[in-house]
Structure 1
């Protein structure tokens, strides 16, 4: 029997400096990947069952068809242009064609080969199954679009294949497809494939299937399991005797999903809870349904929302609706704090003896060694050669192995595949943006509860992306828990509607105005339930307006003299730095004064964060707290468990003011500041007073109402009308009670009716802010994936994830590594290993960096270039040498400029 043409094509090749002349035949690699897919889509596993249910087909049918498609995922490698990338492998392989340049990736080439050539030729062939005919072939295109997009983006279309394939290549690909049909689809029932309704249902399911294709390709490229084979062997024999057996080992090498432990009550998770809060009791007793569900928990700071959410998470897992959890937070600092809280709890979700993984996901993830130690992943000892597609590193087409290694080395992405992930919301939002490998993020979230904390804290752009994420997560069978101290009614309605869009259901009508505290649960028999809150956090807060910075400083001096600890939250870094200096000038002891903002090098920021928690956190003592003053920006506003005797805040929107007030007398203490942990005991420090640094909200406010003392505030919070309404409600009341007044305050600023109260002169500024909000939403609509189109190139403007924004900022920020000059060499500012350069990095607004850059002496610029060559980690980072004569940065002030 003549040898098949397709045995003359290589699919994987060893790196030429590692294993010369070693290669794996293309048909075998295709079968390796198909065999991994066979294991990943076992019909009795949740993933296959959920996808089959969504597609309204049998799990076994889905498995067979998709595995056949996976066998065709690398059709593009039959291109002579691709084969010519390695001419050093064997004389038995096809010869290179110098006229054919490999200028398009093999994933797109494979899909275009099917569209342009193979489908037409196969339709002309006698059908392999007489009863089925050939019509099914014309329905295969969207399935092949999914599998050929296995490098993290959908394939391009309408490429001219003749520029890349010789006639012999097309013949080889044709022969392989025909043999794959015989191997996988001999007695297959093609009727479901002919149903046009299936094509429509495939579009929303295609995103998860694309993730399966990426994962199958990565695992099928692992030489630890799939050794290279360059000798022709019958496909049926290779499939049964090698590919299927090796795929079992490859999939079994993945970390096992640990067995879920049944919920045994609050004490089983949190032994420190003596008496559950009303919200926690709700989490224990609320009936769950058998389908994906959304919870929105709104309660005051200190009501135990996080614990309630974790109780619900374990109950949802016990119900079989999830295997794990991803907690999404607004900032790195809040993610770090959440990790510490989760450290003792997450193992209790699972049966004893299991090894569940916990991973951190944010921009400085490698700086927390505890997270690095929490997951063990098999290292791949043998690597494939990369497919060089250009001279620059960014243009290089990485092999599946190289992609896999890069992905697993980046714990921001790995967190979505770990059993329990903690990180910023940004990492989850990338699942609904046209960023490479978004499908794997979505797949990783699929069997997890998505828990989003501080859900009110995001701008209109991120809110719109969050809506898309909720819709996508509900569609793939995921449940969601959202936490907030306070949510505007319109935002709550939008979130509920997005989730129900994913379920394909109409959203329930929510009460207006809603009660507070409130638990929203949908779909459910009772969607909204007003919840009581625990007595310890019910309180009245007095409001006292301070008109000038001199009045603020005088108030701080009075508090320090009385031995109280104080926090002044300023809206800008510039204002915080100036106030810190003003307080030093006013005679406040430098040892009692701290500054905390976002422009510190990571090593200093970590130290400041730890010191802040030590001096003002739950375990702080009277000795720590006495007379201490913290000048901070919004970095202390959310999720950090801090408690101050005196709180002063710049004017900000009402929800943020309420959030800041949550750090005022947060813990129950005696008059000296000792922590009291008995239930039912009142705080002994007197009635809390929130000092509001704000102009008077006069009815005839003019356009300069905030200027000049609050110009920075208006830059950060441009909706001046909402600021005026906030000041009016707070100053007018003179106090507010929590939780009783929370909903009135929020709706009094954010409702449509409230806008009518804003003075006409301030409406211009407010309209500009509203226009900006609309522009942010439009930008989100432009950027977010068109999920209803399915996994196709036209569903988004695809790019590498580093170029896809999860947040919009007024100005681009620049990562700058601080360096010091020692013996003629630039060394990292941070004296720490192994991440000295990462710990030396600070994020600066672009205009600040440009000013600083101009101060770098010419003689140091060549040293910087040399350093960047030596230190790969600095390739995409700017470097700023710190000279003794310049005071541009200090560990106490941060970046000064």
Structure 2
């Protein structure tokens, strides 16, 4: 049944008194159909989207599933058919129907009107009235159990699942005729939309919808929110006066979406080119090698793929090739590439851009944490969303603008997004609009690089991400050069596949593919295995594992002889102290540069540091003079660097092997004299007390075993060491000569790891949206301690260090600008920063505001004198203590 235009005109759904057209309000029924039309059009043109819903809601035909999805999406704003919502814009209500006067028609307090939550009301009214819609009694609430999750998904406008209870819902101080008018309107809308969406598929309101699991509910919530954002864009869906019947209006909107290629214009959809084979991703004259030779043997079906291969062996190209195959097969429509740090994400972006040109031709490629140009469609959505309507912050277009204004979030709505793993983990945490992230991931191939590089807490979160991806029929590809068997088992278990103990082992390098609960290990043919590589090992026991005068002299002499030398330390304070000492040592040789690179910079400065590091030490560096880089762990992941000599402080064996991947990374015709073969100097402590290093890595046993392993031989042989060394160090049983203290510490460490993982999993079970996406506090949700504080250096005049006054920055640019100016710091700094101002709400919430004065050009000092910041050395404590 289609209600008459007169009835439609009684309710407004969108209202803007400053709208450019003469029509300043939009009928509620029309807006509900705008959003449903986006959902229907998106469904019809996107096989990957259909596949995710079919996997999440099995045992339902595709035709029936489309009907239920579009029907429930159309009900997303059902709660607006309530006098309290309608009174938010009394002028629109008067134009749509008639003036509703306080004292005559109602006695509703103004605060009850302004705080009325139409999303929450929508599901609450449904729970109260659905029996009249169905014309059936539901004594045991069995019918409602089929509706509950569906309605919770589509009415959760603020990224949460509302409960079907609303205190004071029916306690309306209003004319009974008004209350009945609203009740009749809700019933008429539901039955009208059932005739539009359910009836063509042979369904009716009396049919039970498919059981909506929690992963399916999250998928639907993200999809509905995205459709609502698009359907609220007045550039596409202009305000219309009542007139066309609902069926005619729906057809008109569907035709508009299709004929104008709206989804493509907004960067949400782009057809992938046919898969051209892995050689298309390689350089001229290069052929697939190692694990790359296995990619085309994988099934083009959703699953989990684990790729274990040495650094520099082409894992990235292998992952992108398999993702491309899935895109071509319609099993995904996008890719989300997650990396450990912002620096590694930046380094990956150019490679992914080149891939996008081949896989898509024209694609919407978005770098999180980067000041990149908007997709033109994204730009329009942001601009239109800046206009405030009568709904205020509840307006879908406003929420869309806020989302897309931050590159950290819009990575989930393009064809290819490159981000840190934190952004992926937020999809399972109690953060507003997390379901949009989850929806973006579900329809994408999720690629996680350096998957060994996280702690137990983060693995607890990543496991939940993988579970959701698996439940919705998605795909994930995990990459690592140094994956231990226990970790491999944990990741496979999250995909509901066999653990490593039930799966035959495979020689390194290997590829593991999980699909349907079974795991298939694939091994590389002998002719494609990596060449044998020997790395000379020199172990030095020094106080604090810090380079002494003799070693610093050797480093300086090596640079003077043309070597590119890297010293990788575990503490930023050590890096800052060592860089100063080496600069003083080579002060008589101005041709020798000493660079420093770590994580404690404003991101804008870190980008410059990263670019300089790649320029001077990367694959295509000029290498005409020697140079020294002092760095922390930021160089051990995903950066294509090539050093002649590597010095490193002791660290877990898997991370040590990552660092070794930057030593003689590329074949070169000539290296400086004395550095023609790869050699690494490992600095370790004088006794088996690892002190602050144990605090950093948590696991004293792994440090001790790595130490022992390195001291037993003067060389490491790869690729054998990747499997043998890592499995030996991480084996569960005690070593015969293991000190009792080390074994006891490991037991404490293991218990703590289990606790942290459990804490992470419990946090994902929360449904309350406790944090805003842009809240500075959310970093602490994804990182359990290390670098989890966000410090914002400011001048006494209230400006960022680049001179921008915060209050003068446009609202749409503020989140991005704050991100570029934040310095990550360890949680242990909280006591040092206790005097810094930290706001509880707003865009600055959770940021420690460090007030500074410019002490010298390019250098700022905090007002209390405890900190300095410079573009060269980053944020420094005045007194160097372990961080």
State the TM-score, normalized to the length of structure 1: 0.83
Residues 37 and 254, structure 2, Cα contact 8 Å, conserved in 1: yes
Residues 565 and 645, structure 1, Cα contact 8 Å, conserved in 2: yes
Deviation at 1:738, TM superposition (A): 0.6
Deviation at 1:301, TM superposition (A): 1.5
The equivalent residue for 1:66 is: 69
Work out whether 1:815 is the aligned partner of 2:791.
Answer: yes
Of the structure 1 ranges 612-621 and 220-229, higher mean CA displacement relative to structure 2 is found in: 220-229
Deviation at 1:777, TM superposition (A): 0.2
Give the distance between the partners of 1:895 and 1:530, measured in 2 at CA.
46
Give the distance between the partners of 1:252 and 1:720, measured in 2 at CA.
53
Work out whether 1:529 is the aligned partner of 2:522.
Answer: yes
Residues 73 and 147, structure 1, Cα contact 8 Å, conserved in 2: yes
The equivalent residue for 1:693 is: 683
What are the within-5 Å matches in structure 2 for residues 625-664 of structure 1? 626=626, 628-664=627-663
What are the within-5 Å matches in structure 2 for residues 674-753 of structure 1? 685-695=675-685, 701=688, 705-706=689-690, 711-753=691-733
Give the distance between the partners of 1:151 and 1:50, measured in 2 at CA.
23
SS at match of 1:345: helix
Aligned in 2, Cα 1:324/1:73: closer, same or farther, shift over 3 Å? closer
Give the distance between the partners of 1:752 and 1:209, measured in 2 at CA.
42
Give the counterpart of 1:57 among 57, 60, 74: 60
SS at match of 1:65: helix
Deviation at 1:425, TM superposition (A): 1.4
Deviation at 1:18, TM superposition (A): 7.5
Work out whether 1:152 is the aligned partner of 2:159.
Answer: yes
Give the distance between the partners of 1:158 and 1:526, measured in 2 at CA.
45
Work out whether 1:365 is the aligned partner of 2:370.
Answer: yes
Give the distance between the partners of 1:238 and 1:810, measured in 2 at CA.
57
Residues 323 and 419, structure 1, Cα contact 8 Å, conserved in 2: yes
Of the structure 1 ranges 469-478 and 18-27, higher mean CA displacement relative to structure 2 is found in: 18-27
Residues 432 and 772, structure 2, Cα contact 8 Å, conserved in 1: yes
Residues 300 and 325, structure 2, Cα contact 8 Å, conserved in 1: no
SS at match of 1:422: strand
Give the counterpart of 1:30 among 14, 32, 51: 32
Give the distance between the partners of 2:601 and 2:370, measured in 1 at CA.
17
The equivalent residue for 2:876 is: 896
Residues 432 and 468, structure 1, Cα contact 8 Å, conserved in 2: yes
Residues 297 and 481, structure 1, Cα contact 8 Å, conserved in 2: yes
Work out whether 1:828 is the aligned partner of 2:818.
Answer: no
The equivalent residue for 1:209 is: 220
The equivalent residue for 1:789 is: none
* Structure 1 alignment gaps of length 5 or more: 128-133, 390-395, 675-683, 786-793
Residues 260 and 318, structure 1, Cα contact 8 Å, conserved in 2: yes
The equivalent residue for 2:117 is: 105
Give the distance between the partners of 2:253 and 2:10, measured in 1 at CA.
19
Can you list the C-alpha shifts for 1:452-494, whole angstroms capped at 9, x where unaligned?
Answer: 1101011111112112212211222222211101111011112
What are the within-5 Å matches in structure 2 for residues 516-665 of structure 1? 516-523=508-515, 527-531=520-524, 532=526, 538-548=532-542, 549-550=547-548, 551-587=550-586, 589=589, 591-624=592-625, 626=626, 628-665=627-664
Work out whether 1:880 is the aligned partner of 2:851.
Answer: yes
Give the counterpart of 1:309 among 316, 319, 324: 319
Residues 14 and 20, structure 1, Cα contact 8 Å, conserved in 2: no
The equivalent residue for 1:790 is: none
The equivalent residue for 2:194 is: 185
Aligned in 2, Cα 1:695/1:494: closer, same or farther, shift over 3 Å? same
Aligned in 2, Cα 1:194/1:242: closer, same or farther, shift over 3 Å? closer
Work out whether 1:175 is the aligned partner of 2:151.
Answer: no
SS at match of 2:34: helix
What are the within-5 Å matches in structure 2 for residues 438-477 of structure 1? 438-477=434-473
Give the distance between the partners of 1:176 and 1:696, measured in 2 at CA.
79
Aligned in 2, Cα 1:890/1:641: closer, same or farther, shift over 3 Å? same
Give the distance between the partners of 1:896 and 1:292, measured in 2 at CA.
47
Deviation at 1:46, TM superposition (A): 4.1
State the TM-score, normalized to the length of structure 2: 0.84
Give the distance between the partners of 1:374 and 1:269, measured in 2 at CA.
27
Give the distance between the partners of 2:579 and 2:46, measured in 1 at CA.
62
SS at match of 2:170: helix
Work out whether 1:221 is the aligned partner of 2:232.
Answer: yes
SS at match of 2:470: helix
Give the distance between the partners of 1:69 and 1:522, measured in 2 at CA.
34
Residues 78 and 172, structure 1, Cα contact 8 Å, conserved in 2: no
Work out whether 1:85 is the aligned partner of 2:83.
Answer: no
What are the within-5 Å matches in structure 2 for residues 415-454 of structure 1? 415-454=411-450
Can you list the C-alpha shifts for 1:249-275, whole angstroms capped at 9, x where unaligned?
Answer: 555654363333233334322233523
Give the distance between the partners of 1:489 and 1:555, measured in 2 at CA.
39
The equivalent residue for 1:800 is: 772
Give the distance between the partners of 1:74 and 1:135, measured in 2 at CA.
24
Give the distance between the partners of 2:458 and 2:719, measured in 1 at CA.
27
Work out whether 1:321 is the aligned partner of 2:331.
Answer: yes
Can you list the C-alpha shifts for 1:607-629, whole angstroms capped at 9, x where unaligned?
Answer: 322221122110123314x1x21
Residues 47 and 331, structure 2, Cα contact 8 Å, conserved in 1: no
CA RMSD in angstroms comes to 3.9
Deviation at 1:539, TM superposition (A): 0.9
Deviation at 1:543, TM superposition (A): 1.6
Aligned in 2, Cα 1:570/1:322: closer, same or farther, shift over 3 Å? same
Deviation at 1:121, TM superposition (A): 3.9
* Structure 2 alignment gaps of length 5 or more: 862-867, 878-883
Give the distance between the partners of 1:376 and 1:78, measured in 2 at CA.
30
Residues 290 and 529, structure 2, Cα contact 8 Å, conserved in 1: no
The equivalent residue for 2:880 is: none
Residues 454 and 483, structure 1, Cα contact 8 Å, conserved in 2: yes
Residues 299 and 533, structure 1, Cα contact 8 Å, conserved in 2: no
